[in-house]
Amino acid sequence: MDEHPSGAAARRASRHWPWVSGLVSVALAVGIGALIFVRHNGPFLFDQAWMSEMVENRAAWLDVPALVLNFLGGGWFAKIAVPVGTILGLVIARKRWSALYYGAAVLLSVIVVQALKAMFDRPRPEDILVVSDIGSFPSGHVANAATIAVSLALIFSRAWVWYAGAIYTAVMALSRTYLGAHWLSDTIGGVLVGAGIAVIVWAPLASRLNRERKPAVATKSE
């Protein structure tokens, strides 16, 4: 019997949605960056309002967690220690495809972020409290957090991983604006790039990652 057209269409959609959603997410980030660029890299009204709130509410007890997140999300710790440690952990857990996926997603996210920073060359806010490289859009810290959050959620497929990742990404975005390292629109761009890249890299590896996860699921159900 011939396959029902609606069933075939549903399967095609399920195969294509990761590519489409990931590309749309990155395209939105590029679109925001282009809009910022044609506006002479100036902040939006909501950027200015949000930054004013952040500056007015700065306090010594908030500086510490913000600076800790600044360390966790950037520099050698974020670029070397976290990815290498995570990849080694996945390999030890016999999740080699997951390790490959995670490493590729993080690396591609960094490449895309740096390319967009160089392309748009947006100045950082004047009220910055930390030393950062050039290029404010998009936020590399937030993009890295979003990539880690989405990739680990796709690897382990657990609700609590999604929740923890969402909270971590949101707190990272908040800390970047609190420190004056980024405008709010920079963090939105970071989320779109990080999440989009994680989904794009996942798409061609989804079936292998699912098969790699099945033994653990089967063992747990026994």
Indicate whether 163 pLDDT > 50. yes
% of the chain at pLDDT higher than 70: 89
**What's the pLDDT at 213?**
77
Q: Give the mean pLDDT of the chain.
A: 90
The 3 state secondary structure assigned to 91-118 is HHCCCHHHHHHHHHHHHHHHHHHHHHHH
For residue 171, count other CB atoms closer than 10 A to its CB.
15
Question: Is position 153 within any domain?
Answer: yes
pLDDT of 3 above 70: no
Amino acid at 123: P
Whether 163 is in a domain gets the answer yes
pLDDT at res. 10? 41
Give me the pLDDT at residue 2, please. 52
Is residue 70 domain-resident? yes
For residue 73, being part of any structural domain is answered with yes
- pLDDT recorded at residue 162: 96
Angle at 104 between CA 101 and CA 109, to 5 degrees: 120
185 within a domain of the structure (yes/no): yes
How many residues are there in the chain? Answer: 222
Tens of pLDDT, residue by residue over 106-162, are 999 999 999 999 999 999 999 999 988 889 999 999 999 999 999 999 999 899 999
- Omega within 30 of 0 (cis) for the link into 204: no
Domain-located, residue 81: yes
Region of poorest pLDDT, from 148-157, 161-170, 186-195, 212-221 = 212-221
For residue 47, the enclosing domain spans: 15-217
Contacts of 199 (CB under 8 A, 6+ apart): 18, 21, 22, 25, 150, 154
Report residue 27's pLDDT band, with 50, 70 and 90 as the boundaries. Answer: very high
Predicted pLDDT of residue 134: 83
Cβ neighbours of 100 (radius 10 Å): 17
Q: How many domains does the chain have?
A: 1
> Is residue 143 domain-resident?
yes
CATH number where 136 lies: 1.20.144
Model pLDDT for residues 65-111, shown as the tens digit of each residue: 999 999 999 888 998 999 999 999 999 999 999 999 999 999 999 99
Q: Does residue 169 carry a pLDDT above 50?
A: yes
Q: How far is CA 4 from CA 1, 7, 9, 16, 36, in A?
A: 9, 5, 9, 19, 47
| 8 located within any domain | no
